[in-house]
Structure 1
Amino acid sequence: MSLWHETRGIGPDLVLLHGWGLSSAIWGDFADRLTEQYRVTLIDLPGLGRSLPVGDMSLDVVVEALLAVAPERAHWLGWSLGGQLALALAQQASERVKSLSLIAANPCFVARDDWSCAMAPEVFNAFVESLADNEVKTLQRFAALQTRGSATARDELKRLKSVIVSAEPQALAPALMLLESDMRPALATLGCPAQLILGAEDQLVPQALAAEAQHLNNNLSVEVLEQGAHLPFISHADRVLASIQRQVDATDAAG
């Protein structure tokens, strides 16, 4: 069964991938504004929102499911987990990706010996254990972490709480484990134009990632937004929209 998806607007194709525990509804007004210039495809990730889980929920299977419902060639915008999936997709099917915009996304979300700018493994494992014990409480805690430090934290938390309720319980854990994927090789070998937009106060994706990501790929454009946390497309919507427009227009102009 294919993933839930919706396409609206007219213009260059732009695909939006959301984060863990949510659905494409999190994009809200931001997606509406994008449809004024682009043909936007919204996809609910497997097991989240209106999409059922797919296969074994492995990275390859999830990428295959995304490609099955996406335009033949498009610009991709991935937020958080959606950013990791967009990187995996660009690695596996580079001909399908014109450009990549990563928002509050870490190519390696969980820290490793050679990658400290990420969530500590013990913190991530605590989330995994907490999810098994109490899904509702875990999702609420995750929502609070995403908004902490943002200038628009109250609005962001309200948006998260309105979207966070629609997930298949049996798919939350497999989807969470996708965050353990190491997409650094994909970022390092990326052949298309790419940008990374971070919030300076993000509690999940640290600002230190900016320098490390550019070290992996010196063609990567990086922007850090002051007073922004994990949802800069809400707190800094105008800035993020402008950045996406610049990249998409420049990529298409270059052919």
Structure 2
Amino acid sequence: MSLWHETHGTGPDLVLLHGWGLSSAIWGDFADRLAERYRVTLIDLPGLGRSAPAGDMSLDTVVEALLDAAPEQAHWIGWSLGGQLALACAEQAPERLKSLSLIAANPCFVAREDWPCAMAPDVFNAFVQSLADNEAKTLQRFAALQTRGSASARDELKRLKNVISTAEPRALAAALMLLESDLRSALVGLNCPAQLILGDQDQLVPAGLAEQARALNPSLQAHMLAHSAHMPFVSHADEVLIMLNALVRQVDGADAAG
């Protein structure tokens, strides 16, 4: 499986992984700002954006493709589904990640008996069925859900509508199943500095995740942004950039991130 990817800027290597139903274009000017001081690699997930659908959408196959597209060593930033996939990459190839920033990402997106801080299974299953019944309406509803409660909801919704995928329903459904992955063991076993950035108004990833995630990995840095929903890199871009820069400096030294 070969994934579309492109690189901008110079400096320490960063990898950006987007969320479900979208493409790397969702990063927009946030990626441009990162490229002012980093070498940024944008990757489109399989079947989304400019990456062709794959016959095998197993987690292991997707991880292998992501690692093939990424620099040999980099600081990884994953948003939503992209965060889960970055965690999976860290578990499979820990030597490839210098640091990990999880933005509005849950290591176990669908709730389990021992992991209630996630989306209820019946809600997730209803979403899967809704996607099969009416893709366009489901994507519109999903976009609205991501922005609800945010201080910049209007701007976020506009960006989502401009980027939202026109992939075949089968490709979207296959990518959606990746959200069922349970990457809690990967979070426990992380051997690189990591942070979790959450919005207190997020309707998809509960704010209570911060405490649960740090219980799994006490070294995880957790940040909560007020009046932010599922897209803090849009609503609170300045604050998120500061957090990302700080983690890179922690790993690479004071001169690396300016």
Q: TM-score range by the shorter chain?
A: over 0.9
Change (3 A) 1:165 1:55: closer
**Alignment match, 1:251:** 251
Write out per-residue CA displacement over residues 146-201 of structure 1, whole angstroms, 9 at most, x where no aligned residue: 00000000000000000003323321001000000000000011000000000000
The answer on whether the counterparts of 2:197 and 2:224 sit within 8 Å (CA) in structure 1 is yes
Q: C-alpha distance in 1, partners of 2:166/2:67?
A: 23
Q: C-alpha distance in 1, partners of 2:89/2:54?
A: 16
CA displacement at 1:2 relative to structure 2: 1.5
Aligned length: 255
After TM superposition, the structure 1 = structure 2 runs for residues 186-205 of structure 1, keeping only pairs within 5 Å, are 186-205=186-205
Q: Which segments of 5 or more consecutive residues in structure 1 lack a partner in the other structure?
A: none
After TM superposition, the structure 1 = structure 2 runs for residues 94-133 of structure 1, keeping only pairs within 5 Å, are 94-133=94-133
SS at match of 2:253: helix
**Alignment match, 1:20:** 20
- Taking structure 2 as the reference length, the TM-score comes to 0.97
CA displacement at 1:39 relative to structure 2: 0.0
The answer on whether the counterparts of 2:48 and 2:165 sit within 8 Å (CA) in structure 1 is no
Q: C-alpha distance in 1, partners of 2:202/2:73?
A: 31
SS at match of 1:176: helix
Matched, 1:227 2:253: no
**Alignment match, 1:239:** 239
**Alignment match, 1:37:** 37
**Alignment match, 2:153:** 153
Q: C-alpha distance in 1, partners of 2:10/2:253?
A: 17
CA displacement at 1:56 relative to structure 2: 1.3
**Alignment match, 1:74:** 74
- Taking structure 1 as the reference length, the TM-score comes to 0.98
Identity of aligned residues (%): 76
Q: Which segments of 5 or more consecutive residues in structure 2 lack a partner in the other structure?
A: none
Q: What amino acid sits opposite 1:87 in the alignment?
A: L
The answer on whether the counterparts of 1:8 and 1:41 sit within 8 Å (CA) in structure 2 is yes
Q: What amino acid sits opposite 2:208 in the alignment?
A: A
The answer on whether the counterparts of 1:55 and 1:61 sit within 8 Å (CA) in structure 2 is no
The answer on whether the counterparts of 2:131 and 2:169 sit within 8 Å (CA) in structure 1 is no
Q: C-alpha distance in 2, partners of 1:108/1:166?
A: 26
The RMSD of aligned alpha carbons is: 1.1
**Alignment match, 1:91:** 91
Q: What amino acid sits opposite 2:104 in the alignment?
A: A
Q: What amino acid sits opposite 1:207 in the alignment?
A: A
Q: What amino acid sits opposite 1:22 in the alignment?
A: L
CA displacement at 1:43 relative to structure 2: 0.3
